[in-house]
Structure 1
Amino acid sequence: MNFYKLLSNNCVRSLTKSINNKPIINPKFITSNTFIKRSYFTKSPNNLYSNNYDNYETINKQQQHQHQHQQLEFPEQRNNNSNNKKEEITAESFESKPLIVELDSKNFSEVIKSKVPIILNVYVNHGTVSPALTEALKAYAQEYPGCFLLANLDVDKNLEIANALKVEQLPTLFTLNKGQVLQQFVGLPDHETLDKLVNGLLKLSGGLIGNKSIEQLQTIAELFIKSNEIEKAIEIYENLLSNDTTQLLRTLLGFIQCYTNLNEPDQVEKYLSIIKEKFPNELDHKIIQSSKRILQLKKQVSQTVDSLYKTHNLTLEQIEDKLNNDPTNLDLKYDLSLLYYQIGEYEKSINQLLEILKINKKFTPKNDDQSNTDSAKNLIVKIFESLDSQDPLVIKSRKQLNNIWFS
């Protein structure tokens, strides 16, 4: 039962009375789990934020606590069936926009998984101190866009989360990395403390190259790979290779992904040889294994495509036009699937094969070299194996294949 309901009316009135129109304690802050104390500060000529003792408010001395390897606990997410679509993160948006998010029960667990370090700002959107600290933190986030994530938690709207975090005074800051609480600050940190806090998070991101952290650059490069902007990703990895050794393996794996997508096995081998020398225990890494499968399949596809079109001399666009005029021609669909795969259009390649299997589950194309030709089913399975098993495209397409095969 809520502790607030157990209080007498007189007690409630005494706890919630106002001084200068500011409540000492908001009644909804009184719960069976945690009693959160409000702190108010006022501006003075000598000290920008000084305690207002005239209002008889007690402010705890600012405290700083180290919490090594403390795991955050938080309420279960609600409204999992929400129709709100997430805004897709692109390399450009990640590079230019500060990472600032308002926390609630719907996004808390997802935000805490952030790859970049986090400042968790537990605040109220009134009074003087909390809004001032929030604005100062936003300024840091804008100065180092993408280097750390500023997660603001409004206690008035998210009391249960604040209780789970055992917040007893506002404002309270937590610094986190990979879901682990590193530090907790209670009250208003001075500028020197805030500088140290932010610089500490930047070091966790590997330091800075220009005004961007190593972690930010790595993430931007990975987003470029995801959007198939390979040359931009390579440019970032070359910058990282020249200026950073803290995440060398990640950079080398990035190069392997890039040159695999460009179908340049010699370049892949170049960076693989460095990994063999410096990180021999990482040769079974999923990116390396995926690269080998992709290059092997691309070689097979290239040989098949060359064999097919030496005699027919058809371009991708010509095959697409022919298929538009003859949409049930399964041989054309198969050929188009090979060409799409060859240029890295994996989803289009898979979709062509799925359409074939809907019509004929046992389809194998007709050509002069049957020994080097896979059935549509075998080819789509090889494509799945060449990609990351956790890739959303692979997961979705496997389900579609199962539905077709067992229908």
Structure 2
Amino acid sequence: MIELGGTQSQAPAGDLIKDVTEENFMQDVIDASQEVPVIVDFWATWCGPCKTLGPMLEKAVTEARGAVKLAKIDVDQNQRLAQALAQQGLPLQSIPTVVAFVQGRPIDMFQGAVPASELDAFIRKAIEAGGGDTSNGLDDAVAAAEEMLEQGAAADAAETYAAILQEDPAHAAAYAGLVRSNLALGQIDQAEAILNGAPAEISTAPELEAAHAQIELARQAADAGPVAELEARVEADPDDHEARFDLARALHAKGDVEGAIDQLLDLFRRDREWNEGAAKAQLLTIFEALDAKDPIALRGRRKLSSMIFA
């Protein structure tokens, strides 16, 4: 596994994850949280959800590379401590209960097993509350891979995205980047297989929704007709909707995204119901494939909206 950015070395698991009792609670939770956030897992051996959540917590804390620590408290073995904390306001009536301590105070909590995405968000919030960096170098690695992809080094970008996913298997931007890298290499089936293998908790992430649209457009590009011939057909008969639609697909396949959008907007203006609203559907697919802040997408969406609500 390669190292991805950052200067922080990974701390030994023994320093990050500890079994805490009444005797060392002040030292390993209250005092320790003055330096770095401490996630406290209240659990018991008989608790089914605890057996699911515990390994997830340990994995997430280990991957945070020292930005946060984990204290595990068996409530059966530490009943007096649990009662004292409950009397101070911590709701420990059910387990698992997970509490984030920052600078000696509880700042957030949840109860029961939660999806990995929610757990990651909880830990990021704790790290940020403690003034820490939540990127662990992965954001820098994603930016570097994006630059490789823009410069045409799709194979190098794919390798970097794959390494990021080894560090964080639920990194939506890395999954989407790996899909786009394979599309750039002409490997549409492989790109689709990668996307289909994404964890369920990130399946609706905007980056992956965009990747779905990009795959659909890539498959269309394989069947796109010659631009010049389609342009001639449209010029000869501006109401040849099929030719205009095919021209839009051909323009997009050649990289003229703005030209494709213009043709589809013209088709929508002429007959918005043609082929069960195909022009609008294709426009939305193109918009989905683009970055939400892309000026071409923003312009196209505004024009489409003005036509819809005119």
TM-score normalised per structure 2:
0.44
* Structure number having the greater helix percentage: 2
Say which one has the larger Rg: 1
